A and B are shown apart, each in its own frame.
Chain A
Amino acid sequence: DQQVKQNSPSLSVQEGRISILNCDYTNSMFDYFLWYKKYPAEGPTFLISISSIKDKNEDGRFTVFLNKSAKHLSLHIVPSQPGDSAVYFCAASRGLYEKLTFGTGTRLTIIP
């Protein structure tokens, strides 16, 4: 079941530069998309979300872009900071209270 895919298992970015994490999905019923950040031995922490009626949502250094026709979303972090080093999961659901389907995660490493 690969309904949500993150094709890059890892990404390294210089501190201060932009980090771009990508996510693709196949289920056209998905209506709500979220990014979670996860440190080892901790639970996922919510970062930012977007509903299918929008194509962009910003929150501070984090921006999520949604391209519904391509079934693609991306998370931009700018500027990247060392504390951003973590595993980032893309997740999707068919509605606000529905189960989340997660991608496999991308390990982001910010190089000082």
Chain B
Amino acid sequence: EPEVTQTPSHQVTQMGQEVILRCVPISNHLYFYWYRQILGQKVEFLVSFYNNEISEKSEIFDDQFSVERPDGSNFTLKIRSTKLEDSAMYFCASLDGVGTEAFFGQGTRLTVV
């Protein structure tokens, strides 16, 4: 069964450092998303991406965040200068063009120290 793959599974970084979280969505999917879940809280939307541009972003997704689909297969989330409060599980999701449910990756646990 096709799946969304995320790397790394766990990333520890120092406050102020840049991190890039990587995702390989399901190959024929057209819509891409990043969500995050801070420990003990609900899953919250960060950004959606379609046709090589951001279609919607949340208030969380400020200038420190960016997304890119550099080569037609990978979908990356970059945090330029990490803060302690960026520590969370980050989930990538993708959706095909027919409108079925979004498929989620297994997540990247980001720990900012």
Label chain B's interface by main secondary structure.
Answer: strand
Bound complex: CA A101 to CA B107 (Å)? 18
How many chain A residues touch B (CB < 8 A): the figure is: 21
Interface segment out of the listed A13-21, A63-71, A77-85, A92-100: A92-100
Contacts A34-B101, A44-B91, A96-B99 hold; do A101 and B45 have CB atoms under 8 A apart?
Answer: yes
* Residues in B neighbouring A91, C-beta threshold 8 A: 43
- Check A97–B107 contact: CB distance below 8 A: no
Which A32-77 residues have a C-beta within 8 angstroms of B? 34, 36, 41-46, 49
Which residues of chain A are near B112, meaning CB under 8 Å?
Answer: none
Give B residues with C-beta under 8 Å from A: 4, 6, 31, 33, 35, 41-45, 48, 50, 56, 58, 91, 93, 95, 99, 101-107, 109
